[in-house]
Amino acid sequence: MASIRPDDFTFLQQMLKTRSGLVVTPDKAYLLESRLTPIARSFGHTDLSALVTQLRGGRDERLAKAVVDAMTTNESSFFRDGRPFEQFRAHVLPSLVKARSGQRALRVWSAACSSGQEAYSIAMCLLENKAAWNGFQINILGTDLSTEILDRARDGKFSQFEVQRGLPIQMLVKYFEQAGDRWQVRRDIRSMVQWREFNLLDSLTALGSFDIVFCRNVLIYFDQSTKRRVLEAIARQMPEDGYLFLGGAETVLGITDRFQPVDGLRGIYQLAMGKGARPAAGPRSGRTAAPAAAAPSSAASVGGRPLAQAGAPGGRPLGGTGPAGSTSAGGRFGKAATTGTGAQPAASGLSRPSGTGALSRYANLKTKR
Ligand SMILES: C[S@@+](CC[C@H](N)C(=O)[O-])C[C@H]1O[C@@H](n2cnc3c(N)ncnc32)[C@H](O)[C@@H]1O
């Protein structure tokens, strides 16, 4: 263990586990030191011991929150891992659009959304495939434990480095505008996502029900029982034909039997039959991957309805009208729109894409915030 005192380490370890689920093993004690020493200084302490003494007093919620925030890993990128968004476009979206032909509404949750790339990727993917969900209200909610990171997500400003990770250049041109030396997600795209500070260890009931949950690259920081607790809480907020997306290093297998993998899709799960799943409101989708999407031919109500709140208790409506790209900017994330089966011209001031050539991908370098 590094030079942090053993009892201080144990206190911080316990506090982080209780407050956020984060497990810090003794071999990661150096992380406590490197990330918390600046926090200690900013709260007027000379060392970590003094910080822990103040935390033990238990009266400074601001400090406790700063400590948890500092220990979270906010690593994220646009269209992270690629495949989940391809599967979203090609299978999950068409399957649920078919199943919800009655109520014509879907709710998507980016749980542990970090600085927002995941939720914005979902929004862009939807816009690139607008013809596939014409007339639907789709609500996207992004939540995270960290106030600071959520502020960044809401702001939608990204560095050159961040937009070079996973974001096709055509989408950068189409959905972002330059803000000084940064790139900001256009206002109408930002208005498609609602943001809310939320701890996955808290009761999920107030969030309402979600048809699609992206809970990616956060369970890896939890121990088995916390993973189970969070996954089973998510299961209770999903209809039986909902879809759960996990990160590449995450699984439900050996953790809970409430979910089962969807045949043919990687990293995507649905509620296991006979495990207390609530019935879906529409016709039930299959347990296997739906065939790749063909965009619906009718465009009667394209662009006529805002992306709006679809059933979250106490939620407010979203203000933005999803612009319909007439040409896909996103290569493999936008195939449905390129089929030319009803996509409408941009409806809210978005510029047309400047080109539809091959994806321009840049080096996928790692950052550590
Ligand atoms: C590595 S990022 C993942 C971001 C995104 N989902 C992705 O896959 O790119 C993990 C995020 O989980 C958040 N987090 C950690 N513990 C959490 C908790 N108990 N409740 C909600 N968010 C949490 C962190 O603040 C961090 O932003």
| pLDDT tens digits along 149-193 | 999 999 999 999 999 999 999 999 999 999 999 999 999 999 999
The pLDDT confidence band at residue 74, using thresholds 50, 70 and 90, is very high
pLDDT at 278: 56
Q: Residue 17: pLDDT above 50?
A: yes
CATH class of the structural domain 6-71: mainly alpha
User: What mean pLDDT is predicted for residues 243-248?
Assistant: 98
Q: How confident is the model at residue 58 (pLDDT cuts 50, 70, 90)?
A: confident
pLDDT at 324: 36
CB atoms within 10 A of CB 364: 10
Examine the pLDDT at 199 and tell me if it is beyond 90.
Answer: yes
- What is the arithmetic mean of pLDDT over 240-265? 97
| Confidence at residue 351, expressed as pLDDT on a 0 to 100 scale | 24
34 has a pLDDT exceeding 60? yes
> Percent of the chain having pLDDT more than 90?
72
203-237 pLDDT tens trace? 999 999 999 999 999 999 999 999 999 999 999 99
Mutate to test the pocket of ligand 1, among 16, 85, 145 (most ligand atoms within 8 A of CB): 145
Task: Categorize the per-residue pLDDT at 42 as very low, low, confident or very high, splitting at 50, 70 and 90.
Answer: very high
With a 6 A CB cut-off, is 149 part of the ligand 1 pocket? Answer: yes
Two structure tokens written together for 127: 């816009």
Rounded CA-CA distance 167/362 in Å is 8
Task: Return residue ranges of the chain for CATH 3.40.50.150.
Answer: 83-338
> In angstroms, what is the span from residue 217 Cα to ligand 1's centroid?
7
Report whether residue 33 contacts ligand 1, using a CB cutoff of 6 Å: no
Of 80 and 306, the structure prediction assigns the larger pLDDT to 80
Indicate the burial class of 66 (C-beta count within 10 angstroms; 0-12, 13-18, 19 or more): buried
Q: Is 129 in the pocket of ligand 1 (CB under 6 A)?
A: no
pLDDT at 103 over 70: yes
313 vs 280, more confident: 280
Is any ligand 1 atom within 6 A of the Cβ of residue 74?
yes
Residue to substitute in 72, 165, 198, 213 for testing ligand 1 pocket (most ligand atoms within 8 angstroms of CB): 72
How far is residue 212's CA from residue 267's CA, in Å, rounded to a whole number? 13
CA-19 nearest atom, ligand 1: 19
Mutate to test the pocket of ligand 1, among 23, 113, 114 (most ligand atoms within 8 A of CB): 114
Residue 346 has pLDDT above 90, yes or no: no
- Please name the residue that has the structure tokens 């649920």: 96
In terms of CATH, what superfamily is 83-338?
A: Vaccinia Virus protein VP39 (3.40.50.150)
How far does the centroid of ligand 1 lie from the alpha carbon of residue 286, in Å? Answer: 30
> With a 6 A CB cut-off, is 226 part of the ligand 1 pocket?
no
The answer to whether the CB of 50 is under 6 A from ligand 1 is no
Position 310 confidence tier, pLDDT thresholds 50, 70, 90: very low
Where in the chain do CATH 1.10.155.10 domains reside?
Answer: 6-71
Average pLDDT over residues 281-310: 38
